[in-house]
């Protein structure tokens, strides 16, 4: 039986969530909380298997509650957010960074079809996320700056790559933020990424990442020439592929059926890199549930590209990487705190002073931009 704590200051939405969840024989709502402070108390008292978390609430907001729960009495947390409210969007990304495992968008209307679709998504998400084993989080320490000067398994010549492809799912937002924020502004190749995320949140997510990144972070556009020093994310509902044109490596967005259950799919992106760049492509699978990306990583390795996965210890879920390893698709397993340095080494870059500076010492991008 999956024990669930519902956190929401709306009595109507609380009853709706309870109706959907308790329609399932393997789910039981054990407690309710109408604000973040009460959520912490209920989490301590009931030790739920999963928590659904609203964001904008009185007394204490959902981001703060998520942060404190993950530090004191951790449980898988699914954020249920409004896509229409920019404040909620910002808190959504902060909650994901603090350790929430997934995000769902509240239904935009009360039509029977919209509610039925939301209910189905809620049930599926709760059932899959409740299986995740979370650990206590410490927020008083920054990402480790420990470096490894030699990676003994490296088989490619540093500097021989023209593109890096990444894929992430559950736990990806926090991991990507840590990696991206530690890359130097002189990074010499484009980075292309598929992050599994609820539709409607990706544009805001890339803008949020861009603020703290020395590199430019954006949603890719069809036909866009991929440039060094830029990180490109796949938008909603289309596959992101890379092709070579007279202008250079170019993004191609393709409508199509889900692959490994997803559109955009990590496998589709990595397979296109394998076909286009061959041994000049580097592929990475980060934290995530399922198998998306494993076939793509294998295709890249077979073409002579270099492949790696985030290590199990630092993953929220070691699913995609585990499948890739079982298929023989992986050259290297790298801890999270070493990935940025690994990429710098493999692209033959020296980490400069700007990239080593703390975030508090960096000039935020927004201060230097014209409005």
Which residues have CB under 8 Å from 108's CB, separation 6+?
Answer: 83, 84, 114
Q: Supply angle C-alpha 151, 309, 201, rounded to 5.
A: 130
Q: Supply angle C-alpha 198, 199, 201, rounded to 5.
A: 80
Catalytic member of 291, 292, 314, 355: 292
Residue 169 bears catalytic tag: yes
Which residues have CB under 8 Å from 211's CB, separation 6+?
Answer: 364, 365, 366
- Return d(Cα 292, Cα 299) in angstroms, integer: 13
DSSP-derived pairing of the beta strands 239-245 and 248-254: antiparallel
Question: Using CB atoms within 10 A of its CB, is residue 26 exposed (0-12), middle (13-18) or buried (19+)?
Answer: exposed
Residue 196 bears catalytic tag: yes
For the chain, count helices (H), then strands (E).
Answer: 12, 14
Catalytic member of 81, 88, 128, 169: 169
Ramachandran angles phi, psi of 300, nearest 5°: -65, -40
Cis peptide before 264, with omega less than 30 degrees from 0? yes
> Is residue 81 within a helix (H) or strand (E), and if so which, with residue range?
strand 77-81
Q: What is the DSSP letter of 363?
A: P
- Return d(Cα 120, Cα 116) in angstroms, integer: 6
- Return d(Cα 60, Cα 328) in angstroms, integer: 47
Going from the C-alpha of 185 to that of each of 34, 72, 149, 232, the distances in angstroms are 44, 36, 21, 15
> What single string gives the DSSP state of each residue in 338-362?
HHHHHHHHHTT----HHHHS-GGGS
Residue 292 bears catalytic tag: yes
Residue 98, classed as helix, strand or coil, is helix
Name the one residue in this structure whose structure tokens are 């009495």: 73
Catalytic member of 63, 196, 239, 337: 196
Question: Using CB atoms within 10 A of its CB, is residue 366 exposed (0-12), middle (13-18) or buried (19+)?
Answer: exposed
Tokens of residue 2, six digits: 């999956």
* Active centre residues (catalytic): 169, 196, 292
């Amino acid at each position: 039986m999956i024990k669930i704590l519902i956190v929401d200051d709306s009595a109507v939405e609380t009853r709706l969530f309870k109706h959907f969840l308790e329609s399932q024989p393997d789910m039981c709502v054990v407690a309710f909380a109408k604000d973040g402070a009460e959520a912490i108390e209920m989490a301590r008292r009931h030790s739920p298997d999963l928590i659904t978390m609203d964001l904008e609430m009185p007394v204490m907001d959902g981001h703060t509650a998520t942060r404190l729960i993950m530090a004191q009495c951790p449980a898988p947390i699914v954020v249920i957010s409004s896509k229409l409210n920019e404040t909620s969007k910002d808190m959504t990304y902060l909650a994901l960074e603090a350790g929430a495992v997934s995000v769902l968008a509240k239904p935009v209307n009360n039509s029977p079809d919209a509610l039925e679709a939301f209910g189905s998504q809620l049930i599926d998400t709760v059932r899959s996320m409740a299986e995740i084993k979370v650990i206590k989080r410490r927020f008083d320490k920054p990402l480790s700056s420990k470096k490894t000067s030699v990676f003994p398994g490296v088989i490619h010549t540093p500097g021989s790559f023209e593109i890096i492809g990444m894929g992430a799912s559950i736990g990806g937002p926090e991991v990507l933020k840590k990696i991206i924020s530690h890359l130097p502004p002189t990074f010499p190749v484009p980075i292309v990424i598929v992050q599994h995320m609820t539709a409607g949140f990706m544009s805001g997510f890339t803008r949020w990442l861009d603020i703290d990144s020395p590199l430019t972070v954006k949603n890719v556009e069809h036909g866009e020439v991929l440039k060094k020093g830029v990180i490109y994310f796949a938008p909603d509902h289309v596959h992101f592929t890379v092709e070579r044109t007279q202008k250079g490596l170019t993004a191609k967005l393709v409508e199509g059926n889900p692959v490994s259950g997803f559109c955009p799919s990590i496998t589709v992106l990595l397979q296109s890199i394998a076909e286009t760049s061959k041994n000049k492509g580097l592929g990475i699978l980060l934290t995530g549930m399922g198998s998306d990306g494993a076939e793509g990583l294998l295709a890249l390795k077979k073409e002579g590209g270099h492949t790696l996965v985030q290590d199990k210890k630092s993953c929220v879920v070691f699913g995609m990487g585990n499948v890739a390893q079982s298929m023989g698709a992986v050259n290297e397993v790298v801890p999270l705190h070493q990935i940025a340095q690994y990429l710098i080494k493999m692209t033959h870059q020296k980490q400069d002073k700007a990239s080593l500076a703390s975030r508090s010492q960096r000039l935020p991008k927004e201060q230097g931009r014209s409005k």
